[in-house]
């Protein structure tokens, strides 16, 4: 068997080895049924049990109240960019958005098709190197909600705390869901593509407060209406069965690690090791401002693009893969989601020190 490398990819991203091993068995023969998981009816009692357990685990780990629905949808997180305003901004109502990166910018473009969108903050002029302080923007009085991306994978920024407003919060948590404790009751809607911190690509989790299901305009297409999926327990059409199953297996693993609070401790320690290595020298420079640094995606630059190319190539030679920064900003990026092992971070820090020593007098 080939040794596993340390996968710093931003997504699809590394998964717990024990989850991969269990999935490799269940794909062939699920719980001795003689049927592989991915060929099993989504309405079979076996798969219905999988879906129910996955939802129950997510509710437990995130402390999701009973008046919220948990939906397992398709179309990726990008489909939520238009589903949210389509469902929640009928008759051209207003919403406030914070522009902190590529994904919020895309969401703003889609939202403008359905409502009056007020962009109350943007860090685009400084290459999205920070998120706003609480006093840097105002939420319009007539806004239905405040939309923001909690963690920005490309630029390595993250909201250290959530916006303080009386308005309903809507958040894209695709890259940091389950990485730290949050108060779900502050949000009307949370969504996340699974492929960064929860499982493989193919399913998007939507957590929506029940009263919002009644806001959808009558002319909304059936498949794009949240109530359609809420009423049918995410079984209106054939759901992404394998992805839902894999999310459930990751949630079991997360619970065994000690839950979200314990994972938050581990994530802070892992990121701290990397940021300490960056801050201890002028050879490496972090992209994000210190107060906006992400615990999930650590972005940094070397003195020249040529050195960055060499750094990425030599790191890959020793099993440190996926360190190339996003094509839009270049540089390097280490994505260290929940399932990324601490020893991989330690090995990267050791390599960073050795690489610097070999390129400085």
Nearest Cα to Cα of residue 14 among 297, 353, 223:
297
Would you state the structure tokens that stand for residue 360, as one six-digit string? 């400085």
Closest residue by Cα to residue 351 from 277, 275, 276: 277
Residue 208 CA, chain-centre distance (Å), reads 17
Strands of the sheet containing 285-286, edge to edge, are 285-286, 297-301, 332-335
Structure tokens that stand for 317 in this block: 């030679």
Write a three-state SS string for the chain: CCCCCEECCCCCCCCCHHHHHHHHHHCCCHHHCCCCHHHCCCCCHHHHHHHHHHHHHHHHHHCCCCCEEEEEECCHHHHHHHHHHHHHCHHHCEEEEEECCHHHHHHHHHHCCCCEEEEEEECHHHCCCCCCCCCCCCCCCCEEEEEEECEECCCCEECCCCCCCCCCEEEECCCCCCCCCCCHHHEEEEEEECCCCCCCCCCEEEEEEHHHHHCCCCCCCHHHCHHHHHHCCCCCCCCCHHHHHHHHHHHHHHHHHCHHHHHHHHHHHHHHHHHHHHHCCCCCEECCCHHHECCCEEEEECCCHHHHHHHHHHHHHCCEECCECCCCCCCEEEECCCCCCHHHHHHHHHHHHHHHHHCCC
**C-alpha atoms less than 13 angstroms from C-alpha of 215 in its C-beta half-sphere:** 21
Q: How far apart are CA 36 and CA 25, in angstroms?
A: 8
Catalytic positions, written as ranges = 103, 172, 196
């Amino acid at each position: 068997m080939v040794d596993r490398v340390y996968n710093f990819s931003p997504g699809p991203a590394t998964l717990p080895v024990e989850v991969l091993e269990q999935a490799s068995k269940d794909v062939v023969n699920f719980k001795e049924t003689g049927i592989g998981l991915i060929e099993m009816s989504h309405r079979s009692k076996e798969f219905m049990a999988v879906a129910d357990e996955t939802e129950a685990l997510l509710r437990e780990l995130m402390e999701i109240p009973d008046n919220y629905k948990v939906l397992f949808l398709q179309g990726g997180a990008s489909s939520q960019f238009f589903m949210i305003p389509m469902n929640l901004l009928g008759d051209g109502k207003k919403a406030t958005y914070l522009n902190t990166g590529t994904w919020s910018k895309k969401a703003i473009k889609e939202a403008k098709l359905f409502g009056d969108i007020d962009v109350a903050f943007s860090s685009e002029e400084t290459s999205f190197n920070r998120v706003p302080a609480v006093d840097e923007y105002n939420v319009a009085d007539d806004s239905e909600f405040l939309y923001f991306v909690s963690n920005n994978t490309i630029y390595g920024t993250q909201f250290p705390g959530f916006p303080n407003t009386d308005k309903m919060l809507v958040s894209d948590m695709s890259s940091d869901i389950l990485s730290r404790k949050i108060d779900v009751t502050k949000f009307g809607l949370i969504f996340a593509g699974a492929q960064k911190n929860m499982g493989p690509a193919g399913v998007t989790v939507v957590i929506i407060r029940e009263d919002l299901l009644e806001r959808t305009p009558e002319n909304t297409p059936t498949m794009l209406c949240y109530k359609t999926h809420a009423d049918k327990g995410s079984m209106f059409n054939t759901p992404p069965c394998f992805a839902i199953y894999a999310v459930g297996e990751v949630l079991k693993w997360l619970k065994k690690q000690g839950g979200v609070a314990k994972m938050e401790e581990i994530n802070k320690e892992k990121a701290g090791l990397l940021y300490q290595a960056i801050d201890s020298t002028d050879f490496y420079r972090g992209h994000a401002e210190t107060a906006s640094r992400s615990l999930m995606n650590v972005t940094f630059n070397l003195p020249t693009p040529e050195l960055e190319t060499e750094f990425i190539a030599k790191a890959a030679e020793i099993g440190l893969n996926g360190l190339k920064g996003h094509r839009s900003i270049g540089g390097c990026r280490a994505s260290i989601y929940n399932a990324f092992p601490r020893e991989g971070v330690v090995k990267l820090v050791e390599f960073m020190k050795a690489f610097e020593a070999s390129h400085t007098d």
